[in-house]
Structure 1
Amino acid sequence: MRFSANLGFLWSELALPDAIRAAAAAGFDAVECHWPYGVPAKDVAAALHQTGLPMLGLNTARGRTGENGLSALPGRGDDARAAVDQALAYAQATDTGAVHVMAGFASGDAAHAAFVETLRYACAAAPDRTILIEPLNHYDAPGYFLKTTAQAEAIIAEVGAPNLKLMFDCYHVQLMEGDMTRRLERLMPVIGHVQVASVPDRGAPDHGELNYPYVWEVLERLGWDAPVGAEYKPNGDTEATLGWM
């Protein structure tokens, strides 16, 4: 099993280029991030080139203060497309393979239509990259539009683009739905990235209610060969939490 360091949480005290170097020194096979836009893309690209690590993914911008994505917000289509354009440009400059299009806080039919429209735009604008959508749990992100894997699966089918995939975050899925490994088995054809953290505290994946060594076995049996994203909140120095690897 190979692993990707999510630098939104790991080494978050460091500048992003330095965090990339720290992840390489710690033995990670890849990195991913949340919102890198305050760092010049050339500096991130230089650190990736220096370390040889690929950047697997990044998020579209959250939006205004208090927002958590724009793509499902009715009446904000121009802002949503601008966020997609920004993310795709940064991904192009850093050779990042996937962009997570964040839905935002919304509900109802108009939100669904807005989300589908934005996703179709993103998929058409970047046929050479993976577009990801991720259900978030209602404890950490109450009111977020995309809540379950079933909802995500239906949207992926409706959009009908081959590069639209599910970000399967085991932490969020376990809190909302459970039945983890059967969901991995059933959804594998539409999964574009897998992330992990302990449940329920979102710490390192070495404690809590999920048996991650068994999850690794299931992923390997299913043929998953891409790095799994370590998107957890370290309790103290990141290096001190890496024994699980």
Structure 2
Amino acid sequence: MPRFAANLTYLFTEVPMLDRPDWAARCGFDGVEVLFPYDQPMADWERALNGLPVALINTPPGDWAAGDRGFAAVPGMELRFRDSFLRAAEYATRLRAARLHVMAGVAKGPQAEQCYVENLAWALDQAPELCLTLEPLNPDDMPGYFLNDYDQAARIIDDLASPRIGLQFDLWHAARLHGDAGLVWEDQRHRISHIQIAGFPGRNEPGGGGFSLPDLCDAVDADGGARWISAEYRPARGTAQGLGWLTALKSRRTLLIGG
């Protein structure tokens, strides 16, 4: 059955970052993900996690305030990308992260795609024990981001032809990019290795938008249940007060296992 992870960058912001894994576990999550764990030492993360699984981290974005969104597809920034990737790979390995999302950065055009593919091939060779993901991001939330289309991401993944690189399906971004997240899911399901959910159109608690979370769980289960479903949304109130969706899905999971 699917496992549910809390995105600690978005959830449990009522407490400091290193207190959030414990809150996530106590609220019923099976694991966590964190966008950028690099502000805290790895040893501090290990203590805070206390054995709680890590579903995913991102490669470092660079200077976010200055507009950096990663470097993998940015021509001329190959050395910056490689340094940042090796740092991410060290964190991912130490924290036993199931997936490492490689951020493409702000770029466009054929030269950027060539740079992206070459850097991804290098990354796969450098970290043979890690599984990587690519995530298309919508231009309203992430202006200028290179990877902004699921078909584009699919083509790159197919060209790389590695079982260790897959598609990161974010329900919110898929709906913003293509209108119908359900159709994106059906088209790309066999490439998807990590899932993130949020309510649409408000990006609050998951649910609505014509996308059935129970059906998604059934599909993940039918495919073997190995993929994480991560909650990446902005709580409308306190995080713990808005977890009815998680309680319902986990109760349903218990009933299916027992029945």
TM-score class normalised by the smaller sequence: over 0.9
- What is the CA-CA distance between 1:25 and the residue it aligns to? 0.6
- Can you list the C-alpha shifts for 1:152-192, whole angstroms capped at 9, x where unaligned? 01011122222111101111111111343343233222211
State whether structure 2 residue 51 is matched by structure 1 residue 59. no
In structure 1, the gaps of 5 or more residues are none
- Distance in 1, matches of 2:152 and 2:212, equals 26
**Which deviates the most, 23-32 or 201-210?**
201-210
Which residue does the alignment assign to 2:80?
Answer: 79
1:169 equivalent to 2:176? Answer no
Q: Distance in 1 between matches of 2:226 and 2:158?
A: 24
Gap change, CA 1:214 and 1:97, over 3 Å in 2:
closer
Query: CA RMSD, aligned part only?
Result: 1.7
Q: Quote the Cα distance in structure 2 between the aligned partners of 1:168 and 1:220.
A: 16
The whole-number CA distance in structure 2 between the counterparts of 1:115 and 1:127 is 18
Deviation at 1:241, TM superposition (A): 1.2
Is 1:199 the counterpart of 2:200? The answer is yes
Counterpart of 1:187? 188
- Cα distance change of structure 1 residues 100 and 162 upon mapping to structure 2, 3 Å threshold: same
Indicate the percent of aligned positions where both proteins have the same amino acid: 37
Matched residue count: 243
> What are the superposed Cα offsets for residues 46-85 of structure 1, whole Å, 9 maximum, x if unpaired?
222x2x3201111111112211111111100000111111
- Between 1:188-197 and 1:205-214, the stretch displaced more is 205-214
* Residue 6 (structure 1) aligns with: 7
Q: Secondary structure at the match of 1:111?
A: helix
Structure 1 residue 199: Cα displacement? 1.2
Deviation at 1:4, TM superposition (A): 0.5
- What letter is aligned with 1:157? D
- Aligned twin of 2:249: none
Q: Distance in 2 between matches of 1:199 and 1:223?
A: 27
Partner of 2:117: 116
1:35, distance to aligned residue in structure 2 (A): 0.5
The alignment's TM-score, normalised by the length of structure 2, stands at 0.88
Is 2:220–2:227's contact at 8 Å kept on the other side of the alignment? no
CA distance in 2, matches of 1:218, 1:108: 35
1:227 aligns with 2:228: yes
Letter in 1 for 2:62: G
Is 2:138 aligned against 1:131? no
SS in 1 for 2:39: coil
Q: Tell me: CA distance 1:217–1:161, structure 2 relative to 1, closer, same or farther (3 Å).
A: closer
SS at match of 1:56: strand
Measure the CA separation in 2 of the matches of 1:189 and 1:22: 33
1:208 offset after TM fit, Å?
A: 4.2
